[in-house]
Chains A and B, each alone.
Chain A
């Protein structure tokens, strides 16, 4: 872990100092299961950071340790300059958490539970602020309803309202859109964007890769308790993004002429399709040369299409590659 005062590395534009620094974090549960293996991670101030990983990869354990719900086995976490254990009060005051499970009280009213959360985090009452949150989350009409009478989507909103009640500057959203309808999902992402505009750092975990692709500034991939990669989303897409050119042949061919054979060019089993994989970043994609050669050999095609690998494909290949 490099010390904070020696960040001589040039940073990409639009980013700033880390707000969360995770160093050498490990977690071994009493059962012997090692959920985290020496995790190092830096979250930058004001960014939306998406943590991707298959089930059981350690996403929730990592978040739970940062939020103080699970004790780390070794390693440290610094949040906004405060060690989360030694200096837990200022650290936790900054952090809001929306956990994965819908865990709410049942008999309390929406207003009472949000007010409770604010008090719990040491903030003096501020009805005007809580009113704004409930209105933003379309909960204002339900403020006097008992939580148990609300739908699942509404309960999810209540949990977000609770997490925001103490004006956190770091917000963890653990699978916020799991089992949520389209409308709420859209509302939620609008809210996340608004929070980011107000300077809140957001760390989210998700299974929906298109969400990370659309929302996140940076993406971290965790698998089997290890951070496999952390990268700026665009850089990641560029770095790992492969494009494929598919040619639908006029007449099936049984084999390719020797001079056309390469790792990048695959002939489908029925001989009707040629798939050429190329790197969008290289100077020379080789498409022009390929097409020229094909016509030299009299291989005609009736249609062609190109496709770009999605984050999902990148993710799957990463997780597979390491396991």
Chain B
């Protein structure tokens, strides 16, 4: 194991985070705070509680998930896309470093950043709404698992993208709708039966549901299924990354 290389990539990526702290951390925290003000305090105060949880508190896990998904994907995809775009990837390719180590470095840094953002949002949310966390260990487990999984997904997108537009299109056109329709702001039980069935094909439903369960003990789907689906998605991403490095897809001629 080339630990020095993992550390080098990890620190390089984290340095990028600190260098762009305003857009890396301040901006997702600000936008989520706005959600809390609008949906949590302003609208939420006029809404009935859902399954015994006040609306303001109900949306906290969903909003954290929303940020983690978008931030993990955008960070990890940008982190690997930039060296490809600038050509500096030659150095990583010529270094004595395996695919696993490369991924640990890049994905590890992106996931760390997401976890930091998630934690900051959690603390910020506490300023707007009152909530408690029933299963803190599971909460952390879902937070870490989701950050890592979607950072891997972002890594795949960063490898696949050959233009800045493609880099933006997946987070914007696919992930944001999935996250909004995935029960971030409502319980899927509130949907008509037909749409409930459709919603079950949305992977984000399982993430949000599991994460919300760790807060309040209420969930749209069983927590075991949530965990299972998260792991399945993680395995899919691992498979994708494995394939990329075996074939050299878009990184090696």
Contact = CB atoms under 8 A, between A and B. Distances in A.
Interface string A103-131: 11111100010011111111110000000
B88 A71 contact: no
B4 interface: yes
Interface stretch (A13-21, A89-97, A219-227): A89-97
Contacts of A157: none
B93 A68 contact: yes
B93 A119 contact: no
Given A69-B93, A71-B252, A92-B95, A122 B87 contact: no
B209 to A, nearest CB: 40
B12 A124 contact: no
Nearest to B2: A122
Contact of A103 (B4, B12, B88): B88
Nearest to A89: B96
A120 B3 CA distance: 9
Contacts of B12: 108, 112, 116
B87 A103 contact: yes
B252 A120 contact: no
Contact of A119 (B8, B16, B19, B94): B8
A4 B8 CA distance: 37
B253 A120 contact: no
A30 interface: yes
A54 interface: no
B9 A112 contact: no
Interface in B24-61: none
Nearest to A101: B87
A92 B96 contact: yes
Contacts of B253: 29-30, 64, 69-71
Contacts of A91: 96
Contacts of A59: none
A120 B90 contact: no
Nearest to A96: B94
Interface in A54-76: 64, 67-71
B21 interface: no
Nearest to A115: B8
A95 B91 CA distance: 11
A117 B93 contact: no
A112 B15 contact: yes
Nearest to A119: B8
A188 B11 CA distance: 31
A124 B4 contact: yes
B92 interface: yes
A103 B85 CA distance: 10
Interface in A106-162: 106-108, 112, 115-124, 162
A123 B91 contact: no
23 contacts: A64-B253, A70-B253, A89-B96, A90-B96, A95-B94, A101-B87, A104-B86, A106-B86, A108-B15, A112-B15, A116-B12, A118-B4, A118-B8, A119-B8, A120-B5, A120-B8, A120-B92, A120-B95, A121-B4, A122-B2, A122-B4, A122-B96, A122-B97
Top 4 closest pairs, chain A to chain B, by CB = A119-B8, A103-B87, A92-B96, A89-B96
